[in-house]
Amino acid sequence: MSQRARNVTESGAPGIRHTSSSSGDFATDASIEFRHVGKSMKQGNQIVPVLRDLSGVIPHGCVVTLVGPSGSGKSTLLSLCNLLITPDEGEVYVHGREVREWSIPRLRQTVGLVFQSPAMFPGTVMDNLQYGPQLRGETLGNPKRVLQSVGLAEDMLARDAGELSGGQKQRIALARTLVNNPEVLLLDEVTSALDPSAARDVEEWILKVHEERGTTLLWVTHSLEQARRVGDWTWLLVDGQMAEVAPTEEFFETPKSDVTARFLAGELGGGAS
């Protein structure tokens, strides 16, 4: 567990001080707070609940690993945090402010989202890295250094981004997000399409960024080994509901709920390795 996260979480699980505000109590140390979130989606002719009365708090600088069976709502939960979709019920707070009160560009700069197999924007690697700064009318300071920091050679800047390997694209996608200096990084299975060695490299590099910048991470993974290795806290989502929230070691060593034990035993699906 990182020191920052430890400081916060030891003040009482989930370690959040609450204070009063005109909109009610909110978690003052929270990067992200979900409050009674509900979301339904149209599937065929039916409207199906995908997230149900879901609440949870992620302290600043904490790494939360989010696990759960396929279809349990993990990606949907991430999408709520930077307004790719909006909740039907409840609220999502980023730094104490409800997401719908943020301007979308500012929110997406603050909360970066990286997917499993990210699409490259048309053009070169340089075009991809410059995308965010350009939107803000800024110039990317030192693109070669950005590339080096993700373990890629600087002569790659002029390459067509579409021609890169999967591992290279994943690094560019992360670098492209990180040049915006997000305070929160939402990671949706970012290493699952990579070979084991590239996956470990990317994982270590993300943790380095977290340590150096104190970036809060909400990290969806199907690898239980990875969830255990990188998490401070682990959340289990089952059928759109929070089945367990626990410090990562406790989650894996002494799960409190039967559902968690069954999930860890592979009985619910979706938790490979």
Ligand X SMILES: Nc1ncnc2c1ncn2[C@@H]1O[C@H](COP(=O)(O)OP(=O)(O)OP(=O)(O)O)[C@@H](O)[C@H]1O
Q: Phi and psi dihedrals of 128, rounded to 5?
A: -65, -45
Shortest distance, position 92 Cβ to Mg ion, whole Å: 17
- Helix, strand, coil % in the chain, rounded to nearest 5: 35, 25, 35
Residue nearer to Mg ion on the CB measure, 7 or 192: 192
Residue nearer to ligand X on the CB measure, 75 or 130: 75
Residue nearer to ligand X on the CB measure, 4 or 74: 74
Alpha helices for 58-103 (secondary structure H): 74-81
Residue nearer to ligand X on the CB measure, 70 or 134: 70
Shortest distance, position 86 Cβ to ligand X, whole Å: 13
Shortest distance, position 125 Cβ to ligand X, whole Å: 28
Q: What, of Mg ion, ligand X, none, does residue 167 touch, CB below 5 to 8 Å by kind?
A: none
Site for ligand X, rule CB under 6 A: 41-43, 50, 68, 70-76, 270
Shortest distance, position 212 Cβ to Mg ion, whole Å: 28
Q: What, of Mg ion, ligand X, none, does residue 76 touch, CB below 5 to 8 Å by kind?
A: ligand X
Q: How far is CA 24 from CA 6, 28, 35, 60, 229, in A?
A: 26, 12, 12, 20, 36
Q: What, of ligand X, Mg ion, none, does residue 58 touch, CB below 5 to 8 Å by kind?
A: none
List the structure tokens of 136: 């803000």
Single-letter amino acid code for the residue at 38: G
List the structure tokens of 19: 């204070």
List the structure tokens of 270: 């979706």
Query: Looking at beta carbons, which residue is closest to Mg ion?
Result: 75
CA distance 37 to 81: 11
Q: What, of Mg ion, ligand X, none, does residue 215 touch, CB below 5 to 8 Å by kind?
A: none
Residue nearer to ligand X on the CB measure, 42 or 212: 42
Quick one: three-class SS letters along 150-186?
CCCCHHHHHCEHHHCCHHHHHHHHHHHHHCCCCCEEE
Q: What, of ligand X, Mg ion, none, does residue 197 touch, CB below 5 to 8 Å by kind?
A: none
Site for Mg ion, rule CB under 5 A: 74-75
Residues ≥6 apart with Cβ < 8 Å to 253:
none
Shortest distance, position 94 Cβ to ligand X, whole Å: 19
Q: What, of ligand X, Mg ion, none, does residue 71 touch, CB below 5 to 8 Å by kind?
A: ligand X
Q: How far is CA 83 from CA 93, 104, 113, 185, in A?
A: 11, 7, 11, 14
User: Is the distance from CB of 100 to CB of 83 less than 8 angstroms?
Assistant: yes
Q: What, of Mg ion, ligand X, none, does residue 68 touch, CB below 5 to 8 Å by kind?
A: ligand X
Shortest distance, position 67 Cβ to Mg ion, whole Å: 11
Shortest distance, position 48 Cβ to ligand X, whole Å: 7
